[in-house]
Amino acid sequence: MIYLDNAATTPVDPQVLEVVNESMRRDFANSGAVYRLGLDAKNRVEAAREEIASLLRLPSQFRTVFTSGGSESNNLFIKGLCFPDKKTACLGLEHPSVTEILDYFKSLGNDGPRLANREGRLDLDSIPILKENRVRLLCLSHVNNELGAVNDPARILSALAVGSPQTRLFLDGVQAVGKLSIKPEFWNGLAGYSISAHKINGPKGIGLLVYDSRLTLTPLIHGGKQQSGLRSGTLPVPLILGMAKSMRLSIERLKETQEHLRKLRRRLIEGLRDLSGRLDNLDIRFNSSTLDDVEIQSPAIVNFSFPPVEGEVLLHHLEERDVFVGLGSACSAHSREPSKILTGIGLTEDEARCSLRVSFGRQNTEDEIEVFLREFARAHQTLYPTFQHKHAEK
Amino acid sequence: MSRPRIVLVRYDEIGLKGKNRSFFESRLIDHIRRKLADMEGVRYRRPRGRILVDIDETQVDECVRRLRMIPGIVSFSVGVPIRPDVDSIAELGIQWIEPLLASGKPLTFYARTQRSDKTFPITSPDFSYQVGAKILQKLHDKGLSAEFKTPEFVLEIEIGHEETVAFQGRVPGIRGLPVSSGGEVLTLLSGGIDSPVAAFMVIRRGCRSHFVFFDNQAFLGRGGFDKTHRLAKIVNRYQWGGRLCVVPFGNLQTAIRDLCTPAHRVVLYRRMMYRIAHALAEKYGCLALVTGESIGQVASQTLENLAAVSCTVPLSVFRPLIGMDKKDIIDEAKKIGTYDVSIEPHPDCCSVFMPPNPAIRSKVDQLEADEERYPWKDLMREAIENMQVFDLDRS
């Protein structure tokens, strides 16, 4: 099996599995209990929290809240800060757990602007719109989940400081952690950041919200006042320890992983270009940047189109050969609507349907990329006549 | 040791079946036995006009849940076996009614007796009166009163030759006729909302339904199969012994798309589905096909197109939803528990196989001319050879 859909989720690292397993057996007590079993569990949670804070080099005013994952972190921060009437803005290219919140706000009469993008990144020229609309919070993906396009927070924050100083910046960092480096100055000026463990070889069902504690958030879940009342609910101690382990591994191995992913990515792009040159009926168009620069483009994602063959059908043909790739956000893979992200960067609906997302993890090898290229070409050649026919009918 | 309970199962319609009644009763009791097979110590009896199931108190909830899914049952009640004397029964009635008066709200009640043992010395109305009077005497001060027409609480007493049972309340069944009293049918299942409802309606009339699903995994992945398999298992809970046949349909679809008139594609696909279903019906001894079609719902379901597919098979085609409104079909799907699975998004046909403009009124001679252009008999044989069959009781 060749798994190339690591932006959807990743396999759990054996070392993480061991930590979770051991903790499942040992840390069964409620970390809110006052006897020593509970206190031990609580101490392990707090040690994990500190470990993560130090791995992320978080300044002391930042607070961390464990959540069920990226979607909940995005909801907790954006709704917690802006519900119901504070103006928010985005590009419309973010994960649905961001864009759907803004649509929900709109249904309440709180309609924030959608800003222009250049190839999936914020167009800095549109910042004055934030000031005109008195936008309180700008929500962006640090790394776009379908394209891998990077929004560089340092550049955006300095542009905001000049063009719209009252607007704070929130980043969905789910696709960035473990792929891009996070330097201490990264946090200067940032309002909030969300992270998910299962994208970095950790367990599903656990994530983190990092935010500037000077901001006041209203909780989504009320209850036993765990985590300073911000996110009530008994803490899943084993998942938290597993998340800390996966973050340690991914951040410690960052340089090595980045190099590896860049190598895989270069080989895939080169291979696709080569196929495109050799096969008359194959015309590959890259939707993500082909530049080998982590400031602009994540090394883990390649998104490309090959009209008139539809991505979903090609995906099933690859699946038959045990090769698994993505269509875009897994949450929308079942929808018949083409990707809003691809149409959002200017593709037509037909072009958007004829695309695939290949996303690498550190377990992938160069040999696997060769197999992918071979199987992709084979499936494309099988399907081309069918889709050419359909295209001609139109 | 937990206390014994008796479930009284009622089946009015079967009662009308004259000399065939015993046949229908045995089919019903067979289904009940199978449904309750894994429950320990359950016994069955068949006094005239009733099925009695002996269970114990701990099995009541599960037994009620399962009996509600058996066609042929009009209603059932869970009762307590008791000595046929006025004092014991009144005492039980008081036990049941007293907690209902605790809130201080008044309550109306009525005691109703049926005697199948006509040698019992007291008549039914007298017995009801005596039990009712005793209960009223005790609970009148707490707000209980007698009401004959529309009582809120009915204490029912059945005095039989072997034993007497007291119960309150009737749980409605799904009615209809016992499964396999009417023979076997084959339902064409698509993964949508309609076809599972159509299958259920025929199952409720006493037919066992098998299912056929036409799959194209190379283009659509396994999602459609998984969904349809789940739907078939849900519908199979209302019967037993159903099979799901999964027929690979990709090669037929490709041939039709490549070689026939584009506007005819959908009707040509359906003609092949009917033909394959007919072959499977013969193989499994099914006497009719069942589909979820309803007039005018989609382009392939106009009167002309329905006729153009029906004429390919010398077999009855039942369309129980033919005159139903979509909303009513949805309500029924929610009731039988298939709706949430049916609406899970999964395309039932890849867009490359859909024509730009499907024909609304296909002509059979033109369809036949199209069918001369591709080797449908060979492809049909190949599809049936590569079919997979799933036993829905197990898988």
Q: Which of A128, A40, A6, A318 is nearest to B221 (CA)?
A: A318
The one catalytic residue among A82, A139, A331, A354: A331
Question: Using one digit for the tens of pLDDT, what is the confidence trace for B208-261?
Answer: 999 999 999 989 899 999 999 999 999 999 999 999 999 999 999 999 999 999
Claim to verify: residue A159 and residue A268 sit in the same structural domain: no
- Listed in sequence order, the residues at least 6 apart from B330 whose beta carbon sits closer than 8 Å to its beta carbon are B193, B339
Claim to verify: residue A223 and residue A287 sit in the same structural domain: no
- The better pLDDT of the pair B333, B353 is held by B333
CA distance B228 to B220: 13
| DSSP character at residue A112 | P
Alpha helices in chain A (DSSP H): 14-26, 36-55, 70-82, 96-107, 127-132, 153-163, 237-252, 254-278, 311-320, 340-344, 349-353, 366-393
- Contact assignment for A313 to B258 by CB distance below 8 Å: no
* Domain's final residue, options A234, A252, A270: A252
Q: Tell me how close the Cα of B199 comes to any Cα of chain A, in angstroms.
A: 26
Q: Tell me how close the Cα of B68 comes to any Cα of chain A, in angstroms.
A: 34
- Contact assignment for B218 to A317 by CB distance below 8 Å: yes
Q: Which of B42-51, B52-61, B69-78 has the lowest mean pLDDT?
A: B42-51
Claim to verify: residue A41 and residue A177 sit in the same structural domain: yes
- Please report residues of A whose CB lies closer than 8 A to that of B221: 315-316, 319
Take residue B81 and report the two structure tokens written for it. 């076996």
Q: Which of A282-286, A323-327, A387-391 has the lowest mean pLDDT?
A: A387-391
Binned at pLDDT 50, 70 and 90, residue A336 comes out as low
Question: What ipTM score was computed for the predicted complex, to two decimals?
Answer: 0.81
**CB contact B348 to A (< 8 Å):** no
Collapsed DSSP state (helix, strand, coil) of residue A192? strand
Rounded to a whole number of angstroms, the distance between the first and last alpha carbons of chain B is 36
* Domain's final residue, options A230, A252, A274: A252
Residue pair B167/B160 in contact by the 8 Å Cβ criterion: no
Domain count, chain A: 2
**Residue A374 domain-assigned?**
yes
Taking CA–CA distances from B261, the nearest residue in chain A reads A393
pLDDT of residue A386: 86
**CB contact A320 to B (< 8 Å):** yes
Distances (CA, A) of B129 to A29, A127, B110, B137: 60, 86, 9, 12
- Tabulate helix, strand, coil % of chain B (nearest 5): 45, 20, 35
Question: Using one digit for the tens of pLDDT, what is the confidence trace for A167-226?
Answer: 999 999 999 999 999 888 899 999 999 999 999 999 999 999 999 999 999 999 999 999
**Residue A6 domain-assigned?**
no
Claim to verify: residue A171 and residue A319 sit in the same structural domain: no
pLDDT of residue A333: 45
Question: Using one digit for the tens of pLDDT, what is the confidence trace for B263-279?
Answer: 999 999 999 999 999 99
Claim to verify: residue A36 and residue A132 sit in the same structural domain: yes
pLDDT of residue A194: 98
pLDDT of residue B2: 78
Share the mean pLDDT of chain A: 94
Burial code (b: 16+ CB inside 10 Å, e: under 16) for B326-344 equals: eeebbebbeebbbbebbee
Reported as half-sphere exposure (CB side, CA atoms, 13 A), residue A271 has a value of 19
Binned at pLDDT 50, 70 and 90, residue B16 comes out as low
Is a pLDDT exceeding 70 seen at residue A331?
Answer: no
Burial code (b: 16+ CB inside 10 Å, e: under 16) for A146-160 equals: bbbbbbebeebbebb
Claim to verify: residue A207 and residue A108 sit in the same structural domain: yes
**Residue A2 domain-assigned?**
no
Residue pair B67/B52 in contact by the 8 Å Cβ criterion: no
Residue pair B145/B108 in contact by the 8 Å Cβ criterion: yes
| DSSP character at residue B80 | E
Is a pLDDT exceeding 50 seen at residue A348?
Answer: yes
Is a pLDDT exceeding 60 seen at residue B365?
Answer: yes
Claim to verify: residue A229 and residue A317 sit in the same structural domain: no
pLDDT of residue A332: 43
pLDDT of residue B297: 78
Claim to verify: residue A54 and residue A34 sit in the same structural domain: yes
pLDDT of residue A344: 94
Share the mean pLDDT of chain B: 92
**CB contact A334 to B (< 8 Å):** yes
CATH number, domain containing residue A224 = 3.40.640.10
**Residue A7 domain-assigned?**
no
**CB contact A313 to B (< 8 Å):** yes
Residue at B308: amino acid letter: A
**CB contact A386 to B (< 8 Å):** yes
Rama region for A178: left / alpha / beta (φ>0; ψ in -120 to 50; rest)? left
- The domains located in chain B, with CATH, are 4-172 (3.30.2130.30), 184-391 (3.40.50.620)
Q: Calculate what percentage of chain B has a pLDDT beyond 90.
A: 78
**CB contact A316 to B (< 8 Å):** yes
Taking CA–CA distances from A313, the nearest residue in chain B reads B219
- Listed in sequence order, the residues at least 6 apart from A126 whose beta carbon sits closer than 8 Å to its beta carbon are A115, A116
Claim to verify: residue A269 and residue A142 sit in the same structural domain: no
Is a pLDDT exceeding 60 seen at residue A155?
Answer: yes
- DSSP notation for A213-262: TTS----SS-SS-TGGGTS-S---HHHHHHHHHHHHHHHHTHHHHHHHHH
**Host domain of residue A168:** 14-252
CATH number, domain containing residue A315 = 3.90.1150.10
Claim to verify: residue A242 and residue A322 sit in the same structural domain: no
**Residue A378 domain-assigned?**
yes
Residue pointed to by tokens 């992913």: A261
CA distance A357 to A340: 14
**Residue A9 domain-assigned?**
no
- State the average pLDDT over residues B122-144: 93
**Residue A4 domain-assigned?**
no
Reported as half-sphere exposure (CB side, CA atoms, 13 A), residue A299 has a value of 25
- Contact assignment for B223 to A317 by CB distance below 8 Å: no
Taking CA–CA distances from A309, the nearest residue in chain B reads B352
Active site residue A354: no
Question: Using one digit for the tens of pLDDT, what is the confidence trace for A19-51?
Answer: 999 999 999 999 999 999 999 999 999 999 999
Take residue B272 and report the two structure tokens written for it. 């092949």
Is a pLDDT exceeding 70 seen at residue B81?
Answer: yes
- Please report residues of B whose CB lies closer than 8 A to that of A394: 356
Q: Tell me how close the Cα of A59 comes to any Cα of chain B, in angstroms.
A: 44
* Domain's final residue, options A225, A252, A279: A252
pLDDT of residue A350: 85
Binned at pLDDT 50, 70 and 90, residue A328 comes out as low
Take residue B33 and report the two structure tokens written for it. 């036995």
**Residue A361 domain-assigned?**
yes
**CB contact A335 to B (< 8 Å):** yes
- Contact assignment for B218 to A334 by CB distance below 8 Å: no
Q: Tell me how close the Cα of A353 comes to any Cα of chain B, in angstroms.
A: 11
Claim to verify: residue A243 and residue A265 sit in the same structural domain: no
Claim to verify: residue A294 and residue A353 sit in the same structural domain: yes
